[in-house]
Structure 1
């Protein structure tokens, strides 16, 4: 029994990525993808159920990498953190460049997820990302309140709204095709704009 020819898979993936980036999922053409890859539509359908299945395959590595990165950054048990670590978690001068470096390494996949995924299971990716981050972020904040490290008073719903605004600011330069130098400058602006310590009451005496 002959083995399936997998040599054309990279061509399909690269062609699909290019087409999805140029036109978004809904306007992307499977016919164009096949023509650019030099394969028949039959060959494509032997590998993918349809256009959404192909899109999900294109972004799969980015989704897995992002899930792993988020898990790594949120794996700490807040009760095990020192007061200094808990307060320092809101200072972004070190963490923000790390985020941008990671996202820039996965730039094409991340851009697809935040700007080209309408009509797929990832249509609400940016909102879902903010939602995923809210629970752990609010856990940090609540622990700081219990320890008397902050005088802030904010609900989990408000935290979600703030994080949604924050992630919009993070995502926009990818949508606009910023260079790495522009990303670095943007990262510094975000650190100034989103002064979490001040907004959440970490930089004033607890009454």
Structure 2
């Protein structure tokens, strides 16, 4: 009795990754994915229901790690944060910007799949959903600064969402457009000048 081929899953996922990155979810064909993996469609359907489950498997770790990162920020008790730390959270430093770029780059394929290749999947609105989630968290930080009289008070959650969408787009677009790591370093320096939150929010510290 022959043993099951333990390499099938790995070959399928690697082939799917290549096809989704090259063609996007909508244009990638299951037959091509299977042919390149040297796997029958029957073997695929024993493991996955179709293209979307393959896509889910490829982005699952990236999504989980993003959620963990967001949860850390959301779990902070703002009443225990000093004025200086509260205001400092809005200061864009080169090291701070590069920290998030490094996070993205370490999961580059997963990020590119989510921000460039996900049309037709349940992640098609990934960026909007991510920005909405981040706005909910960052708005609490803004409200706390406003409560303490540390910044302007006329920016509401809706406007902050618009501003943060532009901000996070600046993080994700370099991955959409295949920036090299050197180009990302240069872009990060420009971002620090472009998104001057201290001036925009009129932070007093």
SS at match of 1:47: coil
SS at match of 2:46: helix
Counting matched residue pairs gives 204
Query: 2 CA distance for matches of 1:172 and 1:126?
Result: 11
| Contact kept in structure 2, 1:152 and 1:201, CA below 8 Å | no
Structure 1 range deviating more: 146-155 or 39-48: 146-155
Distance in 1 separating the partners of 2:42 and 2:189: 49
Equivalent residue for 1:123? 124
Q: Note the 1:147-162 alignment, pairs <5 A.
A: 147-162=148-163
CA distance 1:130–1:114, change in 2 (3 Å): same
* In 2: Cα distance, 1:114 partner to 1:78 partner: 31
1:152 Cα offset (Å): 4.0
Unaligned runs of 5+ in 2: none
Matched residue, 2:76: 76
2:147 corresponds in structure 1 to: 146
Q: TM-score, normalised by structure 1?
A: 0.94
RMSD of aligned Cα (Å): 1.6
Provide the C-alpha distance between the structure 2 equivalents of 1:116 and 1:135, rounded to a whole number of angstroms: 26
Deviations 1:2-21 (A, max 9, x none): 87543211111111000000
Q: Equivalents in 1 of 2:192, 2:29: separation in Å?
A: 40
Q: In the aligned structure 1, how far is the partner of 2:91 from the partner of 2:35?
A: 49
The answer for unaligned runs of 5 or more in structure 1 is none
